[in-house]
Amino acid sequence: MEIGDDAWRQRTARRAASALPEVWNLLDEISDPEIPVVSLWDLGILQDVRKEGDTLVVTITPTYCGCPAMTEIEQDIERKLRQAGHEPLRIETRLSPPWSTDMMSPEARQALEGYGIAPPCSACTAGGGQPACPNCGSNETRPVSEFGSTACKALWQCDACQEPFDYFKPI
Share above pLDDT 70 across residues of the chain, in percent, rounded to a whole number: 93
Contacts of 135 (CB under 8 A, 6+ apart): 116, 158, 161, 163, 165
Report how far apart the first and last C-alpha atoms of the chain are (Å, whole number): 16
Give the model's pLDDT for residue 148: 85
Average pLDDT over residues 141-164: 92
CB 139 within 8 A of CB 125: no
Strand partners, 59: 48, 92
Domain spanning 5-101: which CATH class is it, in words?
Answer: alpha beta
| Domain limits, the chain | 5-101, 116-168
Confidence of residue 36 (pLDDT cuts 50, 70, 90): very high
Q: What's the pTM?
A: 0.87
CB 99 within 8 A of CB 93: no
pLDDT at position 121 is: 82
Q: Are strands 141-145 and 55-60 parallel, antiparallel or unpaired?
A: unpaired
- Strand, helix or coil for residue 98: coil
Res 1: pLDDT? 35
